[in-house]
Structure 1
């Protein structure tokens, strides 16, 4: 197991390790780690009383698994709300762009809405597990405990996830990173067509977060719905053992291979 998803090289540069490896191309990164890295860097520029409330990430092509650099710039500075943008650049090409809204925290409101009651934490090895996960970097870097569905099972899926390693070597992983490393997996978890025969490509992912998890575990309840003209939407509801965390949405390009 690599020591982290990324090794810091200084001056905004990072070396992705095998933990970022895509299941479809060993030379490319899965979308989850780049999403978490860009959000983490943006979050480091926000004030102490600001919390990331939404991040939208656009994947502009395959994300190579070699040295990248990250640049951040403000879009709409503000005291109560702010919008920032981060770019992941490989060589001379921008491969991922993320925009994140931060909202200032404040006193608790008198009501918070209906509580989401998460499923019980499953036992290790719960649910079907594809044998090829043993050789897939991103798959091995996360512990998956299914509450329904599973790898190789088509349709809706529920799974408890625990990221096993830090996002960046030498830094303690945050609750935000734990959430976003797995958020881009909604489509893969809940595919309704066999991926060996059908492409299901999310060019972008949006995560809207009410809060971050209090501990190591994040549950994803994922489902996918397809239209009759080659598009679809993957959606996941996120929670921790206490309550609701947020929502994930991915539009999909669906084509037969």
Structure 2
């Protein structure tokens, strides 16, 4: 693992990447937060997509803790097509697949007539604290690699609304894309809106799904997050994504909820 913080990943030849401290999970310094691997797999799938196609949905499954050591990315087509295509990718650590992803790409086309529900973007980010405070945690890599500016909530528990700005490239030497900027933060929905105190309760997302209408314009992505719990130990975290222009898409995460 690398203690560098110039990017989330350092290219290590071929399809191998070395995760830096910026990928560090809040709960285990030897593990990665789910956001950077989600963005890395999406980046690889998107690079293999045909011209005129845009990523519309990605579903990512975390098959266990994601080690913070060199990983290999594998991409393969599932359903090729010129109008819609489905691809999958795997993040392999050693001899174990740690993360899998499936993504639909849809062809762009002429602008349709105006329609749908109006959407009012949140107020632009204001000056103020830009760190993510998690009770009992200080100086963890992923939390420092993103700028967080809350517009509502942001307490120890409950719904939260926050502007995010990723501070680093996804891959060293490459420009940070709007897609990566969005997916690096998407897996934070449950942590931002935890329904129960984190010191006392685990809230573990085995998966995350992001459905995107478009990619953001500019550096800022807003997340309006809420978590709901069932009576029998499950939860569902949800976030509405937007930028200063308007609506971007939705994020959802199923949750395992257990007392520590």
Taking the aligned partners of 1:5 and 1:115, their CA distance within structure 2 comes to: 36
Matched, 1:163 2:166: yes
Counterpart CA distance in 2 for 1:23 and 1:125 is: 23
In the other structure, the counterpart of 1:232 is 235
Q: CA deviation at 1:44?
A: 0.1
Structure 2 unaligned residues grouped into runs of 5+: none
The match for 1:43 is 46
Partner SS for 1:120 = coil
Q: Is 1:220 aligned to 2:223, yes or no?
A: yes
**Does the 8 Å contact 1:115/1:243 carry over to 2?**
no
CA RMSD, Structure 1 to Structure 2 (Å): 1.4
After superposition, where does 1:182-197 map in structure 2 within 5 Å? 182-197=185-200
Partners of 1:67 and 1:115 in 2: CA distance: 44
The answer to whether structure 1 residue 143 and structure 2 residue 147 are counterparts is yes
For residues 136-170 of structure 1, give each alpha carbon's deviation from its aligned partner in whole angstroms, at most 9, with x where no partner exists.
Answer: 100000000000111x4311000000000000000
User: What is aligned with 1:242?
Assistant: 245
Match of 1:99 in 2: 102
Output the TM-score relative to the length of structure 1: 0.96
Q: 2:117 aligns with which of 109, 114, 117?
A: 114
SS of match in other structure, 1:165: coil
Q: How many positions carry a matched residue from both structures?
A: 256
TM-score by length of 2: 0.95
Runs of 4+ in 1 over 3 A off after TM superposition: 126-129, 131-134
Partners of 1:42 and 1:76 in 2: how far apart?
13
Is the contact between residue 131 and residue 148 of structure 2 (CA under 8 Å) also seen in structure 1? Answer: no
Unpaired runs of 5+ in structure 1?
none
My pick for the range that moved more, 126-135 or 163-172, is 126-135
